[in-house]
Structure 1
């Protein structure tokens, strides 16, 4: 797992530890997540996959000592290094604030500086309009739709790939 430490005012973004998984599950249960996304064993498996990969990250976002979000993705080292954000979630309390866009900007600056990333991508479920709007407000544009990419509890949904323009 990549070692990531980002600080912005009283917010800290850092690597998830196994002991954080129960808190992450509780945070996810507060939102209308799709059933099957909040299973603790699945979270543990995703954590372990990130933990053993040199290029992946699974991050917690804390304000003070309170967990307010999570971020998961990977860097692909190529001619132009790429950052892929697979999952970004902030607590509902921050839904209608500018914090999401501010943190995305901080994340972009961090990975540009620390890992020489020049290309930034995010993926989201097509039906998650609020999430898509956060990415759009941060300068991302939809570049591709992958039909029926997600299969969660037998429900097929499209994935939108967005790129920082």
Structure 2
């Protein structure tokens, strides 16, 4: 797992540890953002292990003091130029504001830029998720590709949108 330790204001972003998984699972169950399968502890352990054994993946918790605010998962790809993929970024429903979301993501992207020389940032979202689309657009991401029927959620197929931001 890629080692990440980022502090700013009263926010701490750091690697999820195996001992954090029950707290993460409980937090995920309380959120409206996850389908049931995603909150299964065994499934969560599998995602953790996938990140843990890969030196380029990250699975991060966002805390304010001892309170869990959110999670971020992704991967760095070291090539020329270096890329970061944000697979998902979730903030607690009660703390989700444009200012907090933007600040957290801008700090993380800047961290990857400074620490790992990342020039290209990519993410993937459900095409018709207007809130996510606006969030990523507001921090400089542009739509670059659409994959038809990529997601299957509760038996319904949805398109995936890939978005990209290039540092100049």
TM-score bin, normalised by smaller chain = over 0.9
Which range moved further: 114-123 or 139-148? 139-148
Written as runs of structure 1 = structure 2, the 5 A alignment for 1:22-101 is 22-32=22-32, 33-101=34-102
Aligned-residue offset at 1:152 = 3.6
Residues 140 and 165 in structure 2, CA contact (< 8 A), matched pair in contact too: yes
Q: What is the count of residue pairs matched by the alignment?
A: 165
- Check the 8 A contact 1:126/1:160 in 2, yes or no: yes
Shift of 1:106: 0.4
Separation in structure 1 between the aligned mates of residue 126 and residue 20 of structure 2, nearest angstrom? 25
Q: Deviations over 1:66-102 (max 9, x none)?
A: 0010000001111100000000000112223411111
CA–CA distance in structure 2, aligned partners of residues 119 and 105 of structure 1: 13
Structure 2 portions without partners, runs of 5+? none
- After superposition, residues 5-24 of structure 1 pair within 5 angstroms as 5-24=5-24
Q: Deviation digits for residues 23-80 of structure 1, max 9, x if unmatched?
A: 1112222222223121111111000000000110000000111001000000111110
User: 1:164 maps to which residue?
Assistant: 165
- Residue 22 of structure 1 and its aligned partner are, at CA, apart by 1.4
- TM-score, normalised with respect to structure 2: 0.92
Q: For 1:35 and 1:139, locate their aligned partners in 2 and report how far apart those are by CA, in whole Å.
A: 32
Question: What is the aligned-residue RMSD (CA, Å)?
Answer: 1.3
Counterpart position of 2:115:
114
Instruction: Find runs of 4+ consecutive structure 1 residues off by over 6 angstroms.
Output: none
Aligned equivalents of 2:5, 2:15: Cα separation in 1? 7
Runs of 5+ consecutive residues of structure 1 not aligned to the other structure: none
Q: 1:153 Cα deviation (Å)?
A: 4.3
Task: Say whether residues 1:124 and 2:125 are aligned partners.
Answer: yes
SS of structure 2 residue aligned to 1:120: strand
